[in-house]
Structure 1
Amino acid sequence: MHRYLILLMRRPHLDPAVLPLHRAYLEGLREQGQVELYGGFGDKSGGAYVLRAGDLAQATAIAHNDPAHISGGWDITVHEWLT
């Protein structure tokens, strides 16, 4: 398993109703052992999480399944994190 840093930056048309769905998605991944850490930025511009996945394609698929991505309210980037 590799670690990936998933960055989410808010877009102006963000729907606040998606936030609880996004948090529930991340909590489900955490319970499955796939997310190590997640949280929002202090300036409310977005957030990040550390994801464990087999490869970049799997990490990207997981990030694109996030309600934050599906809603279109965030710009999401996936970066392999070499530790």
Structure 2
Amino acid sequence: MKLYLVMALRKPDFPADVIGPHKDWLINLKIEGQLHMAGGFSDGSGGAYVLKNLDSLKQARALVATDPLALRDASELTVHEWVTP
């Protein structure tokens, strides 16, 4: 199974009101079977999530572009194809 690790690091002017829409977006991905796991960093600097059931890195990046964190330019989002043993 291909997995895609998304690192989301908050920008200095991070708007707190984007957290709710971002969590709702993640819940929707879970319902659709595209979210493997997600969580925030204990220091409050951001978080990460792992996508699944996607065909390519390009598709993963296109999906991440619809994240409210991306739409609001609230976080630096990087997407990596994650190879697991």
Which TM-score bucket, shorter chain as reference?
Answer: over 0.9
Q: How many equivalent pairs are there?
A: 83
Distance (Å, rounded) in 2 between the aligned partners of 1:49 and 1:66: 11
Unaligned runs of 5+ residues in structure 2 are none
The CA RMSD over aligned residues, in Å, is 0.8
CA distance in 2, matches of 1:34, 1:25: 11
Unaligned ranges ≥5, structure 1: none
- Counterpart of 1:14 in 2: which secondary structure? coil
Structure 2 CA distance for aligned equivalents of residues 2 and 26 of structure 1: 18
Q: How does 1:4-43 map to 2 (within 5 A)?
A: 4-43=4-43
Give deviations 1:14-64, integer Å, cap 9, x for gaps.
Answer: 111110000000010011110010010000000000001110010000111
Letter in 1 for 2:67: D
Q: TM-score when scaled to structure 2?
A: 0.94
- The residue type equivalent to 1:48 in the other structure is A
Identical columns (%): 41
